[in-house]
Structure 1
Amino acid sequence: MTTTETSTEPATMSTIVVTGPGTVDEIHETRPEVGASDVLLDVKACGICGSDAMYTAVGGIPPRQGATPLGHEPAGVVVAVGADVEGIAVGDHVVVNPMAASDGIIGSGGAQGGLSEQLLIRGAKLDVHLKVIPDDVPWAVAALNEPMAVARHAVNRSGAKAGQKAVVFGAGPIGLGAAISMKLRGVEHVVVVDVVPSRLETALAVGADAVINSAEEDVTARLLELHGTAPRSFVRGDRPDTDVYLDAAGAAPVIATIAESAKHGATATVVGVHKKPVELDLGALLTTELTLTLSMGYPTEIFEVTEDLVNHWERFAHLVSHQIPRADALHALELAATPGAAEKVVVVFE
């Protein structure tokens, strides 16, 4: 657990931080010291999330003042283990629960960020702070664990189950992760809706049964073809026999489409972030008895999703559009924040 330094100067590491509104920079900090209950990781990959661009735009993340570390989707290898830690060994490959860190949420207002060379997990407990994964899972895929937990929570909130028919709006990482999760739990038919052809191609690659380009096709009419017509009820007109709607797009037209399409007893779950208020005619929806649920984060799913990620990593690998070397991390943040430039950017450490 101890190392010998050839210099009298303290060893340092680099980390990426927000330094002001719209600006990020690389700084150097003293490498953390490992206590008896701690685990130290060399970060091997860290995904870039849309929230990183939001944090950058506003100049940081309350309640922290000054430089705010970025990156909340890390995966890494254990390089030091405190004497009191159980079940974790040097050399283990691990994914991280950023919400569990005792010094604040990693990369989301906490004292540390995943876009650092090293992370110190204080009071580390296996399956609470870290989960060990097989060495053959690529680091870029391992870094998807946190966003896939977000997707899994959305699917859990939707109640989607084997034998049902579902539609996912938005073929970004969360929508695609939700589609994978639905198929792995036995949902009979999953349709993915988007307006970008390349995203729809990826949806088919990860196992969606069909896709709809909503810029070119009427979604309700196409769902009627794909899922059939729901049994007659109080609801007027023909409605698709779709059981579950999941909004991972956060776009107002999605809500309008769900209201237009939902059969009696359908479920709609919103995980996409709507940045503006959305009009919803509850009177018109009354006869559908639509169940509307909202989904945020991953209260229990951070390591629930890991088994799927490990067992089907080749499928999840389709979600990673760009792997950027750690030396170009500032460029990776810029690329991820540019609309239409990339789908899922992962920074990989050599």
Structure 2
Amino acid sequence: MSRMKSLYTGTTPDTVEILEVDRPVPGPRDALVRIRACGICGTDVSFLHLGGIPAHAHLGGEIVPVALGHEPAGEVVEVGAEVEGLKVGDRVVVNPQGPSGVIGCGARHGALSEYLLVENAAVGRSLAVFPDHVPFDVASLNEPMAVARHAVNRSEAKPADKVVVFGAGPIGLGAAIWLKLRGVEHVVVADVIPSRLEKALAIGADAVINSAEQDVTGRLTELHGQASNALGQPRPGTDIYFDAAGAAAVFNTVVGNAKWGAKLVMVAIQKKSSEIDLGGMLRSELTLIASQGYPTEIFEVTPELVEHEDRFARLISHRVPFAEADRAFEWALTPGAAEKIVVTFDD
């Protein structure tokens, strides 16, 4: 049987290891994809912190390695006889939570591998074809941009809404792009890292706030005008807040600033937080909207990602060869060291 290289969590926490494993053999309903680029997600980093995942009790509860990666783009190299609408040579992005089963995130297959088996391959459900002119690294943004798109869809933002996105990582910046493409007239991005704020302006944000140095309330009032909560207390005129940071300070800042009828869309994985000011939420009738994954958006985003590829390409801060994946994860493990890292595979 042919062999391939695949990236797993290492034998100790915060390390990775490239292992040689059997190359998957596709069945009549499957497709085999040669991976050409795969993004690194915060979920991958979480598995690194654990050193893997706990095995079943009958295995003694030991930590077992995890195959990493769920943001792939690649080229089809084998197609099962029963697969329709797909051919060898097609460039594809893959749904890592689709009908073919989970990819990465503790599953049997990870996309940070030379090859990926897409079981029960179905175009439009488990994978989608994209044009040859789109670089593989940009195409690998499809999955995280679907996460951002779902958050924006959940917000039901309208053109006249005034919006602020807290957190200028890939999801926050992706949300800002989708908001502008949706026609929202004024989008602010807030973060504590100047380089991220510069990138926010480059991808189309109308204004930025350095929340480590600036008065968020004053700046939002300056940008969005003044409104009030249900008690008539002055509040910025911001209509929709996005939490793409997951820090307690963001949640509390939103509650403290929300006008009557404002919305908060929570898309970040929340870190351990302090008590929530429920009274503040009541005084503003703040609507909390949770956004998880991409129930319908995974391939909804693909045509627009293709159309606006130059804009989305700005989100990538580092491109690292697969052979140097350990270096890529060193950056990913260091807060503020990188924004969006894409692992690339040789031609």
Matched, 1:277 2:279: no
- The corresponding residue for 2:59 is none
Deviation at residue 20 of structure 1 after TM alignment: 3.2
- The corresponding residue for 2:316 is 320
Structure 2 vs 1, CA of residues 124 and 312 (structure 1 numbering), >3 Å: closer, same or farther? same
Deviation at residue 172 of structure 1 after TM alignment: 0.5
CA contact (8 A) 2:54 2:64 kept: no
- The corresponding residue for 1:81 is 79
**Map of 1:182-197 to 2, 5 A cutoff?**
182-197=179-194
- The corresponding residue for 2:295 is 299
Question: Could you list the per-position Cα deviations for residues 115-137 of structure 1 after superposition, in whole angstroms to 9, with x for gaps in the alignment?
Answer: 10001111100011101111111
Deviation at residue 50 of structure 1 after TM alignment: 1.4
Q: 1:181 aligns with which of 178, 183, 202?
A: 178
Taking only aligned residues, the RMSD between alpha carbons, in angstroms, comes to: 1.6
Count of residue correspondences = 339
- The corresponding residue for 1:17 is 8
What's the secondary structure of 2:234's corresponding residue? Answer: coil
Deviation at residue 140 of structure 1 after TM alignment: 1.0
CA contact (8 A) 2:159 2:184 kept: yes
Structure 2 vs 1, CA of residues 171 and 69 (structure 1 numbering), >3 Å: closer, same or farther? same
Deviation at residue 162 of structure 1 after TM alignment: 2.1
Structure 1 residues 84-93 or 152-161, which shifts more? 152-161
Taking structure 1 as the reference length, the TM-score comes to: 0.93
Distance 2:75 2:167 in 1: 33
Distance 2:295 2:129 in 1: 20
Distance 1:14 1:106 in 2: 16
What's the secondary structure of 1:284's corresponding residue? Answer: helix
Distance 1:234 1:275 in 2: 29
Deviation at residue 347 of structure 1 after TM alignment: 0.3
What's the secondary structure of 1:140's corresponding residue? Answer: helix
Matched, 1:26 2:26: no
What's the secondary structure of 1:330's corresponding residue? Answer: helix
Gaps of 5+ in 1: 1-9
**Map of 1:30-41 to 2, 5 A cutoff?**
30-41=22-33
- The corresponding residue for 1:5 is none
- The corresponding residue for 1:287 is 283
Q: 1:20 corresponds to which letter in structure 2?
A: T
- The corresponding residue for 1:332 is 328
**Map of 1:78-157 to 2, 5 A cutoff?**
78-100=76-98, 102=100, 104-157=101-154
Q: 2:342 corresponds to which letter in structure 1?
A: V
CA contact (8 A) 1:101 1:121 kept: no
What's the secondary structure of 1:45's corresponding residue? Answer: strand
Gaps of 5+ in 2: 57-62
What's the secondary structure of 1:131's corresponding residue? Answer: strand
